[in-house]
């Protein structure tokens, strides 16, 4: 038995030190970064915020909105190939959309068809396996890189330096990092496996950058400040699912629920009722997802995700405006003129309390 004694950190365990800055206004900072990659020869300009390849936020509709802001969307892997082809031929997806694949042969055939038959459309691929420590992931990375040397290849998920290094040296441009931190994830509850997200980013980014690779922090964003902390810790991309799940454009019906308030209607003498709106959001390894997208849950698997009803938050464009506004403000506080400089300009305080919760969070 071994134990690492040092306490690992999550977003909530730190705040960021403000620094003297020569930036007078948020409008002076540049949130668009030019990304260069280890293997993919293409350069991309964007703000490294990306929606997860989950069924409600990794959608065509969400992708269109993300692209408008030079942000990214990782499409979920359950679209039929014809629909993917229609989307990538009708929209300019070259830079901002990733196509997902798992380890199944059907996934490979689908991606191979698109890369071969539509070579100038979308060449950003995400190999997504909750546990990238299994050997077949690395084998697939090698196969993809050999067959399609020019693709932008993201692979995950990992949380340790060894695997990040291994995947990058095998052909990955970006390693997706995070295990157990997702809002719809119950992996930590049912397996005890996982690593706090901030420490994951520190270690994985340091390793990746040392060998010319990049990382995408995946999961665990609760507040916009967490996106800033993720970039501050060294993430090149920050992926989010639950954060976007409540936007109007996310897939899924809106559910209306009636709640009794503690105010009394003076005319009727009865409690005033309030209607609240929600969207259903579910983990991609949940039993719900297995039933919806596959043929039910195999006997050897346990559900590693859950189903939640997320309060409706408003339009995705407004959310993106808030995110980018928060990021600009962060850069002004720490004196970072360019997104690329954010991690160099970030110093964290370890804290016991992050927020004043007198009036709720």
Please identify every residue annotated as catalytic: 185, 187
The phi and psi torsions of 163 (rounded to 5 degrees) equal -75, -35
Q: Which of 342, 242, 243 is nearest to 32 (CA)?
A: 342
By the rule CB under 6 A, 10 interacts with ligand 5GP: no
Taking the least distance from each CB to ligand 5GP, the nearer of 187 and 332 is 187
By the rule CB under 6 A, 187 interacts with ligand 5GP: yes
30-61 burial, b if ≥16 CB within 10 A, otherwise e?
ebebebebbbbeeebebbbbbbbbbbbbbbbe
Q: Which of 72, 98, 243, 333 binds ligand 5GP (CB under 6 A)?
A: 243
By the rule CB under 6 A, 183 interacts with ligand 5GP: yes
By the rule CB under 6 A, 234 interacts with ligand 5GP: no
Cβ atoms of 96 and 66 within 8 Å: the answer is yes
Min separation Cβ 97 and ligand 5GP, Å:
15
Q: Which of residues 287-306 bind ligand 5GP (CB under 6 A)?
A: 304-305
Number of neighbours of residue 165 by Cβ within 10 angstroms: 18
The phi and psi torsions of 197 (rounded to 5 degrees) equal -65, -40
By the rule CB under 6 A, 204 interacts with ligand 5GP: no
Residues with Cβ within 8 Å of 293's Cβ and at least 6 positions away in sequence, in order, are: 55, 78
By the rule CB under 6 A, 54 interacts with ligand 5GP: yes
One-letter-per-residue 3-state SS of 86-98: HHHHHCCCCCCEE
Q: State the Cα–Cα distance between residues 267 and 179, nearest whole angstrom.
A: 54
Min separation Cβ 224 and ligand 5GP, Å:
13
By the rule CB under 6 A, 217 interacts with ligand 5GP: no
Number of neighbours of residue 152 by Cβ within 10 angstroms: 23
Min separation Cβ 31 and ligand 5GP, Å:
20
Quick one: which segment of 142-150, 218-226, 247-255, 318-326 binds ligand 5GP (CB under 6 A)? 218-226
By the rule CB under 6 A, 239 interacts with ligand 5GP: yes
Closest residue to ligand 5GP, Cβ-based? 305
Site residues, ligand 5GP (CB under 6 A): 52, 54, 130, 157, 182-185, 187, 218-221, 239-243, 283-286, 304-305
């Amino acid at each position: 038995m071994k134990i690492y004694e040092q306490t690992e950190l999550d977003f909530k365990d730190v705040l960021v030190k403000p620094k003297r800055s020569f930036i007078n206004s948020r409008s002076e900072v540049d949130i668009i970064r030019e990304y260069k990659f280890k293997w993919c020869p293409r350069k991309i300009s964007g703000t490294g915020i990306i929606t997860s390849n989950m069924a409600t936020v990794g959608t065509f509709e969400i992708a269109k909105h993300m692209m408008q802001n030079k942000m990214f969307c990782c499409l979920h892997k359950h679209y039929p190939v014809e629909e993917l082809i229609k989307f990538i031929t009708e929209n300019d997806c070259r830079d901002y959309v990733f196509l997902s694949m798992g380890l199944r042969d059907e996934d490979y055939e689908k991606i191979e068809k698109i890369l071969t038959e539509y070579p100038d459309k979308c060449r950003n691929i995400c190999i997504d396996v909750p546990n990238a420590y299994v050997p077949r992931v690395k084998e697939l990375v090698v196969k993809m890189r050999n067959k399609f040397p020019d693709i932008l290849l993201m692979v995950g998920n990992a949380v340790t330096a060894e695997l990040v290094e291994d995947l990058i040296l095998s052909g990955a441009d970006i390693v997706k990092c995070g295990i157990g931190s997702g809002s719809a994830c119950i992996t930590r509850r049912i397996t005890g496996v996982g690593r706090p997200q901030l420490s994951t980013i520190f270690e994985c980014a340091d390793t990746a950058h040392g060998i010319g690779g990049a990382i995408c922090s995946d999961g665990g964003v609760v507040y916009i400040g967490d996106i800033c902390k993720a970039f501050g810790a060294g993430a090149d991309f920050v992926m989010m699912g639950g954060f976007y799940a409540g936007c109007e454009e996310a897939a899924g019906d809106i559910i209306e629920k009636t709640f009794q308030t503690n105010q009394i209607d003076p005319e009727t003498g009865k409690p005033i009722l309030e209607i609240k709106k929600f969207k259903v959001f579910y983990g991609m390894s949940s039993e719900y997802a297995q039933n919806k997208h596959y043929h039910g849950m195999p006997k050897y698997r346990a559900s590693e995700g859950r189903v939640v009803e997320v309060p409706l938050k408003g339009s995705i464009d407004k959310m993106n405006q808030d995110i980018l506004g928060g990021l600009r403000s962060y850069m002004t506080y720490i004196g970072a003129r360019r997104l690329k400089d954010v991690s160099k300009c970030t110093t964290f305080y370890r804290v016991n309390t992050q927020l004043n919760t007198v009036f709720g969070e």
